[in-house]
Amino acid sequence: MKYIFQPAEADNCVNHVGSYRRRLPVSLERMYENTLDWAHLPHLHESSFAQIRCLDAGAWGWKAEVANVGASNPPNSLIELKLDRQARRWITRNLEGPNKGAEIWTHVFVEGESSLDIVVDFYVPDVAPEAKEKVGLAYAKAYEQLYDEDVSMMVERQQQINRRVEGFDRSETLTLSSAKKLILPTLVTLSQRSFVVNQIDGEWIAYSAQCPHQMGPLIDSSIVQDEVRCPWHGFTFNVRTGECTSGGVCQLTEAPLVVNDGDDGLILKWTGT
């Protein structure tokens, strides 16, 4: 368990069912970005949320209809998140739906450049005093999973931002020997950029290992009818053309050609070289 659960028995707020704390290895910038990013809910947290329809969003927060996984009549909740940067806090309110009236208050404390403590308080109406701990613990466990998933995204995104390089050397090539022994998909680096090498219908192909939207990882996404789907927000891309096929205004960055070396090897090289 990565968090500390604290039951609400000692406080006087009737709706407070508990709180939990956790240290996160991320910057405040990544944390706020994640907080305002309503679109990742049904993708990164696909085991918790089935759908989201944003009604309004801005630097202040967002308001959306959200369907939980397993809901019989989606969308089943109207949720509003309001971010208060001065107070280093955001409040998530269930305005309609099965948890109507519940509020989750999250306070953040900066411990270092990439180290935050969060304290999350759960306020749920109409919970009998003897049931508070059980309800609070259930919220804390749900939040642990959500934060596990969020941390993986925030840390990966920060690493990608730190590694980003402008321009590249088009004269570089990469030779992969023993193509038959490659475990596909294979992640490779050429000109300081990462690519996925794979085979479609017997044809070798390379495509960017990074989603152009917010740098999500594409290595673990399987190809279905020439398309990969990013696990962070669900954008899909044609791996041959790079085109975004889900309506996003972005496309995969240029990828090298994969040519056979005449033996059992492959050479990755840039077009025009």
As measured in angstroms, the least distance from the Cβ of 233 to ligand FES is 3
- Please report, as a single letter, which amino acid is at residue 176: L
Classify residue 268 as exposed, middle or buried by CB count within 10 Å of its CB (0-12, 13-18, 19+): buried
CA distances 104 to 45, 67, 101, 121, 140, Å, are 18, 18, 10, 6, 11
The option from Fe ion, ligand FES, none interacting with 93 (CB < 5 to 8 A, set by class) reads none
Q: What is the DSSP letter of 27?
A: -
Nearer to ligand FES, 62 or 232 (CB): 232
Please give the structure tokens belonging to residue 39.
């679109």
Site for ligand FES, residues 223 to 252, rule: CB under 6 A: 230, 232-233, 235
As measured in angstroms, the least distance from the Cβ of 38 to ligand FES is 12
22 in Cβ contact with 106 (< 8 Å): no
The C-alpha atoms of residue 90 and residue 84 are separated, in whole angstroms, by: 6
- Please report, as a single letter, which amino acid is at residue 104: I
Which among 74, 81, 90 has a CA at the least distance from the CA of 28? Answer: 90
The option from Fe ion, ligand FES, none interacting with 150 (CB < 5 to 8 A, set by class) reads Fe ion
As measured in angstroms, the least distance from the Cβ of 160 to ligand FES is 10
The option from Fe ion, ligand FES, none interacting with 205 (CB < 5 to 8 A, set by class) reads none
Binding of residue 150 to Fe ion (CB under 5 A): yes
Binding of residue 93 to ligand FES (CB under 6 A): no
As measured in angstroms, the least distance from the Cβ of 234 to ligand FES is 6
Indicate the residue whose CB is closest to Fe ion.
150
Nearer to ligand FES, 37 or 121 (CB): 37
Phi/psi of residue 122, each to 5°? Answer: -105, 125
Query: Which among 140-148, 176-184, 206-214, 256-264 is the span making contact with ligand FES, rule CB under 6 A?
Result: 206-214
Query: Which among 135-143, 150-158, 185-193, 223-231 is the span making contact with Fe ion, rule CB under 5 A?
Result: 150-158
Binding of residue 121 to Fe ion (CB under 5 A): no
The option from Fe ion, ligand FES, none interacting with 235 (CB < 5 to 8 A, set by class) reads ligand FES
Q: Which residues lie across from 89 on neighbouring strands?
A: 84, 107
With vertex at residue 61, the alpha carbon angle to CA 58 and CA 62, rounded to the nearest 5 degrees, is 85
Binding of residue 216 to ligand FES (CB under 6 A): yes
Would you call 157 helix, strand, or coil by DSSP? helix
Omega before residue 185 within 30° of 0, cis? yes
As measured in angstroms, the least distance from the Cβ of 163 to ligand FES is 15
Query: Which among 76-84, 161-169, 211-219, 255-263 is the span making contact with ligand FES, rule CB under 6 A?
Result: 211-219
DSSP string, 59-110: TTEEEEEEEETT-SSSS-EEEEEEEETTTTEEEEEEEESTTTT-EEEEEEEE
List of residues contacting Fe ion (CB under 5 A):
150
Q: Which residues bind ligand FES (CB under 6 A)?
A: 211, 213-214, 216, 230, 232-233, 235
